[in-house]
Amino acid sequence: MEKALDAFCLEGRPVSCERYGMGHINRTWLVATDAGRRYILQQLSREAFHDIPALMENVRAVTEYLAERTDDPRASLHLIPTRDGACWHRDGEGEAFRVYDFVEDSLCLQATETPEDFVQSAVAFGRFQYQLRDFPAAALGETIPNFHNTPERYRQFDAALRADPLGRAKELGREIDFVLARREEAGTLQRLREEGSLPLRVTHNDTKLNNVLLDAKTRRALCVIDLDTVMPGLSAFDFGDSIRFGASTAAEDERDFDRVKVDLGLYELFVRGFVPACGGLSAEELQSLPWGARLMTLECGLRFLTDYLNGDVYFSVACPEHNLVRARNQFRLVSDMEAKWDRMRQIAESAR
Ligand SMILES: Nc1ncnc2c1ncn2[C@@H]1O[C@H](COP(=O)(O)OP(=O)(O)O)[C@@H](O)[C@H]1O
Ligand SMILES: [Mg+2]
């Protein structure tokens, strides 16, 4: 690790380097130097990311753009250059490293402690949309191709169903019917995107609470972190995935499906934090937000079901039926959103 650190232009000499945070993808260390500076060192996951040069180019472009537009150094991430002037370093074994300034006096929550924490995550991701509203989103690399292309996810499901390598399809009649009955509407966002009815935006694509830093004193949104999945997309993607994860009344793998519902109170709080922070979404975009919630949830359930058919090759599982439980859980959430659809639309459309 110390060797990798040598590659970067730090202020002072490193005096400590300890594992840090609760991230599940990269390996993260907190580094302190004898000049009293602190940094975040990360080794990027080569398993999760297949095009690290493109990924780091996205991160560099977005962080530089944000830094040029704010005076507050804690309002965005700052990459520390290497001695060669690059924004990341590949060591002799092919491992990829980067260094950020440590955002001091910040708080990273694993779970909300109050509803206001959820509002602040909405503000952080909405503000991210706003700050990048004029960024040329199409110039970003699509580091995970077709990430939220739901019709393409259906094609992957079709292929898994045809192959059915473990003979699991025969127990899945209800789930398969559920998915196929929604094929047409599942293409709504992709169609609007292709038609150009919705603006192409910079999306974060991993809008979990622990990818937001709050100010430790005020507990208000400071910045978003973990920009590894930043890509061109729709505002409905970030909004929708936040609702899928943050406004569900149960965990993603809760087996008591009667407990899985969308909490309209939390949904409304998120809308009221997100929409104003985005600073002017068009009428079409406002209408797309509840679709984002519904379709990100359907798509996620579809991916779990596809992986179950494929023999659990993508998502890690703790038991053989784990992906099936997750899929059923997400489908239950979709059904609850369908039942509450009119209200979800009213809340979004009245938020302008
Ligand atoms: N610049 C930073 N300043 C302070 N803490 C950070 C910074 N970058 C990351 N962290 C902490 O490290 C954790 C893991 O970083 P993250 O980039 O989210 O990695 P992963 O992709 O593994 O989730 C975060 O949840 C946060 O606690
Ligand atoms: Mg993270």
Q: What is the pLDDT confidence band of residue 24, given thresholds at 50, 70 and 90?
A: confident
Reported as a single tens digit per residue, the pLDDT across 135-162 is 999 999 999 999 999 999 999 999 999 9
Judging by DSSP bridges, how do beta strands 96-101 and 231-233 pair with one another?
A: unpaired
Q: What is the pLDDT confidence band of residue 87, given thresholds at 50, 70 and 90?
A: very high
What spacing in Å lies between the alpha carbon of 138 and ligand 2's midpoint?
Answer: 24
Q: What is the pLDDT confidence band of residue 42, given thresholds at 50, 70 and 90?
A: very high
Atom of ligand 1 nearest to the CA of 24: 22
- Compute the mean pLDDT over every residue in the chain, rounded to the nearest whole number: 96
| Cα–Cα distance for residue pair 86/95, rounded to 1 Å | 15
Residue 20: predicted pLDDT: 97
Give the DSSP H or E segment for 253: none
Would the CB of 25 count as within 6 Å of ligand 1? Answer: yes
What spacing in Å lies between the alpha carbon of 208 and ligand 1's midpoint?
Answer: 12
Ligand closest in space to the Cα of 48: 1
Enter the tokens of residue 265. 């109170």
Reported as a single tens digit per residue, the pLDDT across 232-249 is 999 999 999 999 999 999
For residue 135, give the 3-state DSSP assignment.
coil
Would the CB of 77 count as within 6 Å of ligand 1? Answer: yes
Helix spans in 69-139 (H): 115-131
Angle at 343 between CA 271 and CA 258, to 5 degrees: 95
Q: What is the pLDDT confidence band of residue 23, given thresholds at 50, 70 and 90?
A: confident
What spacing in Å lies between the alpha carbon of 27 and ligand 1's midpoint?
Answer: 9
Is the model's pLDDT at 15 over the cut of 80?
Answer: yes
| Cα–Cα distance for residue pair 166/317, rounded to 1 Å | 16
Would the CB of 43 count as within 6 Å of ligand 1? Answer: no
Candidate from 108, 204, 206 with most ligand 1 atoms within 8 A of CB, to mutate: 108
Contact of 133 with 274, CB cutoff 8 Å = no
Q: What is the pLDDT confidence band of residue 251, given thresholds at 50, 70 and 90?
A: very high
Helix spans in the chain (H): 2-6, 52-68, 115-131, 150-163, 173-181, 183-186, 188-195, 235-246, 264-278, 283-310, 322-339, 341-349
Question: N- to C-terminal Cα distance for the chain?
Answer: 49
pTM of the model: 0.95
Which amino acid type is present at position 23? Answer: G
Reported as a single tens digit per residue, the pLDDT across 109-119 is 999 999 999 99
Q: What is the pLDDT confidence band of residue 55, given thresholds at 50, 70 and 90?
A: very high
DSSP code at position 45: P
Reported as a single tens digit per residue, the pLDDT across 164-206 is 999 999 999 999 999 999 999 999 999 999 999 999 999 999 9
